[in-house]
Amino acid sequence: MLFLLLRLLPAIIPILFFVSTKAVFYYADSWQWFIAAILLLPTVYFVLLKYKNRDKIVIWLGAFSLIYALTGFAYSLVLENPTVISIYLLGWSLIYALYLEAVFHDFYETAKAYVFNLLNITLYGNILIIFFLTAVLASFNIFLNLSWIVLLVISAAANFLIIYLAFQRQNLPKKLAMIYSGIVDLILTEVLGGLLLLPSSFYVIAIITALCYYLLMQILLSARANKLNRKLLIELLAFSGLIFLAAAVTAAWL
């Protein structure tokens, strides 16, 4: 019975996320109940996983799930067009389902664990979270006058959790993973703090912050694997530069 429930929840949770988030736009007075629903079911899922095998470490996977869900919910509030909101939530829910499916196969160490590569999903999922979470917080700072201190604290806390998960999935020693996570998180927080002082749109701020994360992670992981060389560094900088230029040309600078 427990196995069946654990098998079904990775499909049920993203559907509940989609329905609950959409419902907020129609029943705004009950928004707290919908958020509770979005957070409760994945929490139950990871608690059940821990109950199933106490030797497995699932707390960081659970934290990623909750941060991902909250980020997706919050960003939907920034959007205005109902069609765009629906398309965005559909895509976000599909990625959410992919992540939860990967967690299941990784937990039970099935043959599909290689297909649903949890390591890659968390690495690139972090880019999505950092981009959209930064966009949300920066927009709240610009339009709702959210305190920059509160913004940086929320960003730093969420980023540290998901970055640590990425390093933890690389099988780094706990202390080293903590150090690496703290370094990357500190740099991202300083970059975000500096960008908030510039007259730029929240999308530009989000893109630059996400690019910094991508660069730092690639450099650290490549160095850890003894694969970092001049050619790779140039390729990473060139790729990031092209993305930044595209963002600078197409984004609206305020």
Least confident of 49-58, 59-68, 210-219, 243-252: 243-252
Asked which of 47, 69, 102 is the last residue of a domain, the reply is: 102
For residue 253, what pLDDT band results from cuts at 50, 70 and 90?
very low
Asked which of 73, 102, 131 is the last residue of a domain, the reply is: 102
Distance of CA 114 to the CA centre of its chain: 21
**Same domain, yes or no: 43 and 169:** no
Residue 227: domain span: 117-254
* Counted domains in the chain: 2
**Same domain, yes or no: 77 and 123:** no
107-117 per-position pLDDT tens digit: 888 888 777 88
Q: Does residue 110 sit within a domain? A: no
Q: Does residue 108 sit within a domain? A: no
- Spatial neighbors of 39 by CB under 8 A, at least 6 apart, are 66, 69, 70
**Same domain, yes or no: 204 and 242:** yes
For residue 254, what pLDDT band results from cuts at 50, 70 and 90?
very low
For residue 208, what pLDDT band results from cuts at 50, 70 and 90?
confident
Q: What is the pTM of this model?
A: 0.88
**Same domain, yes or no: 228 and 251:** yes
**CA pair distance 204, 160, nearest whole angstrom:** 22
Of 72, 10, 13, 67, the C-alpha closest to 37 is 13
61-102 per-position pLDDT tens digit: 999 999 999 999 999 998 888 999 999 999 999 999 999 999
**Same domain, yes or no: 47 and 165:** no
Q: Does residue 107 sit within a domain? A: no
